[in-house]
Amino acid sequence: MQVNKSITFLIACFCFSSLAGTRTDSIILSTKSIISGGIGQTNSVDTGITIENGDLWIWGFRGSGQQGNGQSVVLQWNPPERVSNFVKKGLNVTQVAAGIYHIIALDDKGNVWGWGQNGYQEAAGGLYSGYPNTPVLVLKDKNVVLIEAGEYVSYALTKDGDVYAWGHGIYGQIGNGNKKSVNHVYKIPRSQFDNRPVVLIGGAYEGGYAINDLGGVFAWGDDQNDSFGYARAPKEHVYVTTPIQIYNLGGIDGAQIRHICGGEAFTNFLTSSGDVYGMGRSNMLGIGSDKSHVKDNVTTPVHITSNVTSLYCRYGGSVAITHNAEILTWGFDNNQFDMYGIYPINRTYYGDLTKIDGGKEHILYWNDKGEGYGVGYGAGNKLSQSSNHNVSWPGVKLQFVIDAMKKVYGQDYIPGQGQ
């Protein structure tokens, strides 16, 4: 076991410092590689998900059609499988996002597909009644470059700068001015973003974020514990039904934000300088607050850590990769999962890091030896085919996933080296 000192595969996909200083199409196009080299944008509870060799692999709980291969229920201790629909069509999956039990995927043609739980049309966008067990083509010929998902909601950003939303909306997550779900894909009017094209989107647990080409930062959905930077206490929840601009950025230029995301009650963002800031519930921000600070809110972005290349927000905390190939975690102090920490914790892991995936309260990481490991919440047999136990760092080896990949790609194949 060793703490790594180098990354063999490009992980720094959230940091665009080598690109032009202003937001341009080149930056939007580069978001196609976010999932390939960054941290998997999934909030799945009991399901394991990763992109490998252009294929989408799924394992663990698949009782709502999540496997995507035409079966409504696949037993959770069954071996991992590829989503065969994309294989048969000759499509490569470039990004994946997921809510609790639904999955959306972006293919290399810029089209978005959805399947799994669909009670609010979070998967199919009104194009399928019931739970689709094969991918439904939700957005076609829109040239989508980035997808995100919340608990029961999905988002997509096109190269032209348009934002689409579908699914659960009772907390304002759709951004259409209502507190109700929609049975279709809703295009958020550009007027909601100062009549400017959007160049970056992000997902929170019950809401969304967008940044326009001038650096204006917007949010909508559940503004829980002042996570949008507005002092609303003693109210814990304020439901924002159309995008509002976040002005309270503490002097930070929104045009320098390279990734924005949220959890249950916080917002984090990563700047081009590698600095991570956060606001919202203090005990989820890695600034030394513990469970006793559950009602203490931060309304001006506070600095969390530096030297970061990739960032992802979980339900109760965050994960980051540094330029030195460190895995940092922070957030709600829950000893049950050993996932976070009241300050950013430099985690020990096996081998040389190549990619990271994960879900609501679990993390999957891969190394240069072709090994995958799982940490955190173990329900759904996603970390072990024989156990639902939670796993602490540095994790348990995902040998059953590795074996399934080698069975398809050959015994000499080394998983986890790229997508």
For the stretch 166-213, pLDDT in tens is 999 999 999 999 999 999 999 999 999 999 999 999 999 999 999 999
Quick one: average pLDDT of 89-97?
Answer: 96
pLDDT computed for residue 334 by the predictor: 66
Its domain, for residue 162, covers 25-409
Q: Is the pLDDT of residue 28 over 80?
A: no
Q: Read off the pLDDT of residues 285-307 as tens digits, 9 standing for 90 and up.
A: 999 998 888 879 999 999 999 99
- The number of residues making up the chain comes to 419
Q: Quick one: CA torsion of 276, 197, 230, 268, rounded to 10 degrees?
A: -20
Does the pLDDT at position 2 exceed 90? no
Above pLDDT 90, what percent of the chain?
83
d(CA 345, CA 339): 10
CATH number of the domain where residue 261 is located? 2.130.10.30
- At 38, the pLDDT band (50, 70, 90 cuts) reads very low
* Residue 294: per-residue pLDDT: 80
Q: According to the model, what pLDDT value does residue 27 have?
A: 25
Q: Report how far residue 200's alpha carbon sits from residue 104's, in angstroms, rounded to the nearest whole number.
A: 18
| Number of folded domains that form the chain | 1
Higher pLDDT pick, 127 / 8 = 127
Nearest to 115 by CA among 173, 147, 68: 68
On whether residue 70 sits in a domain, the answer given is yes
| 3 found inside a domain | no
Is there a domain that residue 314 lies in?
A: yes
CA distances from 121 to 10, 47, 239 (A): 35, 19, 20
Which residues have C-beta within 8 Å of that of residue 180, sequence separation ≥ 6?
169, 170
Q: Write the CA distances from 294 to 179, 266, 289, 298, 314, integer angstroms.
A: 26, 12, 8, 11, 17
Average pLDDT, the chain: 89
For residue 4, being part of any structural domain is answered with no
Query: Is 146 among the domain residues?
Result: yes
Whole-number Å distance between alpha carbons of 379 and 410: 29
pLDDT of residue 295: 78
Q: Is residue 11 part of a domain?
A: no
How many helices (H) and strands (E) are present in the chain, helices listed first?
4, 28
The pLDDT value given to residue 358: 85
Residue 16 lies in a domain: no
Residue 39 lies in a domain: yes
